[in-house]
Chains A and B, each alone.
Chain A
């Protein structure tokens, strides 16, 4: 039995500890907002927060999350920065197909939580693990900058 907190709720899971967190979320708990893109930590579609830090859930075994706090897109609006990032993503109409956007938003929120005034280079560093095949990168960058401004970051 593995215990962890997911979106504020304590979960006791009787699963193979090697199971990637991604499939625990999607197949066991029905939290399908976290996406499967590559299974190899190459695309970022599965990004969630583990104790506030962005991790690729496809490469995070359940055992590694034991005793820790997992936050997914479904509960991101309970955080101040996450709610703001989602609002700005909506206002800016960032998504196209939308499939990568949960991961993009989770990565962007983690970045802005830690650094409310990211430079372009810092945005590149934090976001280059998240692939978007529709090419919304410029809208993502603009939304991060808008969120930064709304958080009182230096321009």
Chain B
């Protein structure tokens, strides 16, 4: 990753000899740009270089935020190239249409879509290069390509002759690029499915990995920006006389989003900001409070909403023997990435250059082009390592404000959010309320289920999507709308409610709260039916083999049905998200004072064919920790329009002393790959609250879990 600052390699035509006599393969992603840019001409770009030394460099347009993409993408290429893995390295790509994820047509990292989107294109890049190397060797030997094979960076002829890729690169680059290179049968994979070491670990253990915050440019100023404490507020006036007296402070600037102090370094900027006096007009949301939001969402679920799914007929369903109703609620959440948001921007005449840990290179180009009034193609994005992403780094606030500040100041500017700035900058996971009602027959089988969801719309808040004509935000309903259980009469409704809080994508998005809601309510149904929560689900998943498969595997590995260790109880939940199926069993205890401790989590995952099983296990574990932090502690609340949390004291997250043992079991599968960064999260909360119910008889219907509710009387 040393080459993160290398100039962009644009405009390669199919194959060409790279500077230094290497082979470069560029190709057009089949569906790249199909959403927005269908009329644009294709623009091939370099994905892969093989140097005359034999070193293979894979150029990756995706952002590394811990999920292992800088290892997974090279593995896809290396497999089909039959590369010697020890000679493979990875380089961060510039922003370029050719790096658009075919799943969404833009260059961005999110939606657990990297391997899903690039599974075929990156393998084809490797396969095309391999065929060209074979053709070059065959031509050298005047032999048939069919009589050659490849292994670990070498072309072998059946006669025993051999040539290394290193020696073939010049000749191979003169070969035509195969239009449709042949891909391996997965049973012949030698790299995919292996627990290979990550390529990004070495710089992450010696402090040399460069994150956005580590960027330093000559003449750069460091900025802190004070935003309106209430969203939609405006600075009326400010007094910067004390600020300007702070040594190191260079400029104080009013921007559309607040007042910024620019200084030689962060500390001077912060000290200057501390003595800045700003008068605010709080605007229309000055009275915003969490209690009001909660009531508004809850009230909305008493009324019919826009229909997201409607099967059978709730009205004419057989009269149930038993009915249940329950209201569930989840709060706004901050992402709280370890690295606070930041961006370094340099606006020059006619061009913009930024250095940032961003999940959203493609859209950033367009947005910053507008902000700086330059052609989007003149916006260069240097993708740095991301100190956590979780969706937060796909938001545009930090890149926009850094660009504005560079433009206003005429200098390169590194905008740094303090932890409090970061936590109070909005872009929250939406708060949401869901009201369920269901009927069971005399045998305990569900006859009908209705879910009414009320929450803000991410689609509408995103600025780049629109609600479809039916008025249903798919992110607001995912995880409820796709309820997999065999229930003949089913209706899911959505009521869009906008209290004025900017909402955004948060790890696993709608599933993060909706699976908690739906799986908890299914647990309630199981208990109402007098059935075991695992057996109840299993019976209703007879037609859903992948759900059922992970459910059974997690139950088996956790010892479901056997007595749990002393003091512990178990809960179980299952979810599908981003094309992967995950079931989790949680073993937890509840102390007399209501404190919850999770001791063990057993997860089973079916994510189709695997790229790197160890990274999969780590990602599932990572999502479990993220979900557990949210279930136990996560909550952004408002009072008088202001966010009440600011740092890790008021917004606690899980620490090592609270960390459960985690076991992850992967279902062998030949299905195409599913996502892996997010799918481990959704099942955690309902499995945990299921265990709490088993321990206390109390049903948690609101997150985060309130220990007071669980106290022994």
Contact = CB atoms under 8 A, between A and B. Distances in A.
B197 A93 contact: yes
B357 to A, nearest CB: 9
Given A98-B204, A99-B338, A32 B267 contact: no
A33 B419 contact: no
Interface in B252-280: 264-267, 270
A90 B67 contact: no
Given A97-B388, A141-B656, A133 B648 contact: no
Nearest to A139: B618
Interface in A22-79: 23, 26-28, 30-40, 42-43, 45, 72-74, 76-77
A7 to B, nearest CB: 11
Interface string A128-144: 11111111111111000
A55 B267 CA distance: 19
Interface string B44-68: 0000000000000000000011111
A135 B338 contact: no
B198 interface: yes
A132 B622 CA distance: 10
B195 to A, nearest CB: 9
A105 interface: yes
Interface residues of B, number: 63
Contact of B657 (A40, A76, A124, A132): A124
B67 A96 contact: yes
Of A33, A37, A76, chain B has the most CB atoms within 10 Å of the CB of A37
Contacts of B211: 35, 99
| B68, B386, B388: most-surrounded residue (chain A CB, <10 A) | B388
Contact of A97 (B208, B387, B649): B387
B214 A86 contact: no
A20 interface: yes
Contacts of A125: 657
Contact of A137 (B67, B649, B659): B659
B215 to A, nearest CB: 9
Main secondary structure of the interface of A (DSSP, over half): loop
A131 B653 CA distance: 8
B209 interface: yes
A110 interface: no
B267 A93 contact: no
A129 to B, nearest CB: 8
B656 A36 contact: no
Given A16-B247, A38-B419, A73 B387 contact: no
A141 B198 CA distance: 19
Contact of A98 (B267, B270, B385): B385
Contacts of A117: none
Contacts of B68: 96
Interface string A99-134: 111100100000000000000000111011111111
B443 to A, nearest CB: 42
Interface in B165-201: 197-198, 200-201
A134 B66 contact: yes
A49 to B, nearest CB: 13
Nearest to A121: B657
A36 B213 contact: yes
B246 to A, nearest CB: 9
B621 interface: yes
A12 interface: no
Contacts of B419: 37-40, 43
Contact of A35 (B201, B202, B387, B621): B387
B207 A135 contact: no
Determine which residue in B202, B205, B206, B621 has the highest number of CB atoms from chain A within 10 A of its CB, and name it.
Answer: B205
Contacts of B416: 36
Contacts of B67: 96
B224 to A, nearest CB: 11
A78 B315 CA distance: 75
A27 B201 contact: no
A100 B416 CA distance: 17
B226 to A, nearest CB: 15
B87 to A, nearest CB: 19
A27 B656 contact: no
B711 interface: no
B259 to A, nearest CB: 20
B656 A93 contact: no
Contacts of A101: 204-205
B626 A131 contact: no
B126 to A, nearest CB: 23
Given A32-B216, A43-B338, A105-B205, A98 B197 contact: no
Nearest to A141: B656
Given A37-B419, A137-B656, A23 B267 contact: yes
A77 B205 CA distance: 10
B339 interface: yes
A42 B213 CA distance: 19
A38 B198 CA distance: 28
B205 A135 contact: no
Interface in B64-106: 64-68
Nearest to A43: B648
Nearest to B210: A32
A76 B4 CA distance: 25
B340 interface: yes
B432 interface: no
Nearest to A95: B204
Nearest to B65: A97
A37 to B, nearest CB: 6
A74 B626 CA distance: 29
B688 interface: no
A135 B654 contact: yes
Q: 10 closest Cβ contacts across the A-B interface?
A: A33-B207, A135-B625, A99-B387, A96-B66, A97-B66, A98-B204, A27-B265, A73-B207, A32-B214, A124-B657
Interface of A: 16, 19-20, 23, 26-28, 30-40, 42-43, 45, 72-74, 76-77, 86, 89-90, 93-102, 105, 123-125, 127-141
Interface of B: 64-68, 197-198, 200-211, 213-214, 216, 222, 247, 264-267, 270, 336-340, 385-390, 416, 418-419, 614, 618, 621-626, 629, 647-649, 653-657, 659, 661-662
Given A97-B339, A130-B656, 5 more contacts: A35-B211, A89-B205, A102-B207, A124-B656, A137-B654
8 contacts: A20-B267, A38-B648, A77-B206, A93-B201, A97-B65, A127-B656, A133-B337, A139-B618
